[in-house]
Amino acid sequence: MPIARVHRIAASSPDDTTGIEAAIAAGEISPAGILAIFGKTEGNGCVNDFTRGYATQSLTLALARHIGPERAAEVCYVMSGGTEGAMSPHWTVFERVEGDGAAGPALAIGRVHTAALPAEGLGRMMQVDQVAAGVAEAMRQAGIADPGDVHFVQIKCPLLTAQRIGEAKARGATVAVGDTLKSMGLSRGASSLGVAMALGEVKRDALSDEMICRDYAVWSGRASASAGVELTNHEIVVLGRSASWSGPLTIDHAVMADCIDIEPVRAALGRLGLGAPGQLDAAARGRLVALLAKAEASPDGEVRGARHTMLDDSDISSTRHARAYVAGALAGLVGRTSIYVSGGAEHQGPPGGGPVAAIVQR
């Protein structure tokens, strides 16, 4: 019976694989069982954040020494750039092993690499459909039949560059947007609507090219999408609960209504046995294996009626402000800074809010 293991490992730089290597050498991680690695890297999180590709390359090469290049390429490397504020750079390693652990339902993991997405499909229904199909396949791999048992879907999606736009135009195709930075939001939004469709949160006939990143009343409570220049396809990781998995870990999720709405997260932690009226104590922090979250600057320019200036800063992208702000709010709740907060939450939770998932030891 499959057992999920999750390891949180500090990183001193985007190419620092020493912690993972040490865990492998100590027998704490079996490299053959690694399904995915989520990383927080200290880049800017924008189009030209090459720390994501650097980290992916470094991790791939490190694993290839243990399991060969073909197996290493099968791992989903979901690198999220930007560790603003006190967010600590780190890796979250998701591993599957076989054994007889504590009876389920327990944490279950499925992963999929889609085919490359043509540039003209980004931010359109072509991308929505491709992601929805990928999520369905990842659920099948995880042994999750009921969409209600899915608690987080992490997607690494592509973006547009000047070169990719030029290649599309040379084929006689048009792209959804010519601004490469805006293409990140469109890609995240379309990917998230693909999750919503796969999980039954919205029907396909309610979606269209025209509403993507325009009608924010439609959103997923379990999607997390991060765009990057380092890929042209999608890497999809489904996290949920399944009775066909065993082991010590479980998962739950919450949806923040805005960037300071920590009470739903506190409630999810309580459902997982980590209830606390204030910040988690040391024992509870020891059971919290991973905290995964989305963040964005509220598009109406306000937080609970008070004006914010995140959207007016011409020097620093609003996604960077939002990552730091939400990471700080969540760190105050759980008492640690190694939190995976990804910026840009288009169709991921209500406008200005976002989904959060907690993985804990049962």
DSSP 261-286: --HHHHHHHHHTT---SSS--HHHHH
Q: State yes or no: 348 annotated in a binding site.
A: yes
The pLDDT, as a whole number, for residue 101 is 82
The tens digit of pLDDT for each residue in 270-301 reads 999 999 999 999 999 999 999 999 999 999 99
**Catalytic residue status for 156:** yes
**Local confidence band at 340 (pLDDT 50, 70, 90 cut-offs):** very high
Backbone angles phi, psi at 253, to 5 degrees: -140, 165
Give exposure, 25-50, as e/b (b: 16+ Cβ within 10 Å).
eeeebebebbbbbbbbbbbbbbbebb
Specify whether the CB–CB gap between 143 and 108 falls below 8 A: yes
Q: For 17-31, 61-75, 95-109, 142-156, which range has the lowest pLDDT when averaged over its residues?
A: 95-109
As a whole number, the mean pLDDT across the chain is 96
Q: State yes or no: 118 annotated in a binding site.
A: no
Task: Report, as an integer, the average pLDDT of 62-88.
Answer: 97
- Does the pLDDT at position 27 exceed 80? yes
Taken in order of first residue, the domains within the chain and their CATH numbers are 2-98 (3.30.1330.170), 106-239 (3.30.1330.180), 248-361 (3.30.1330.160)
* Strand, helix or coil for residue 233: coil
- Does the pLDDT at position 102 exceed 90? no
Q: State yes or no: 323 annotated in a binding site.
A: yes
Q: Whose structure tokens read 């993507």?
A: 212
- Does the pLDDT at position 100 exceed 90? no
**Catalytic residue status for 40:** no
Specify whether the CB–CB gap between 290 and 251 falls below 8 A: no
Catalytic member of 192, 220, 224, 226: 226
Q: What is the pTM (predicted TM-score) of this model?
A: 0.95
Catalytic member of 156, 187, 242, 246: 156
Across the beta sheet with 354-361, the strand order is 249-256, 354-361, 288-295, 340-343
The pLDDT, as a whole number, for residue 104 is 76
Tell which residue, 265, 136, 250, has the closest CA to residue 204.
Answer: 136
Q: State yes or no: 342 annotated in a binding site.
A: yes
The tens digit of pLDDT for each residue in 140-172 reads 999 999 999 999 999 999 999 999 999 999 999
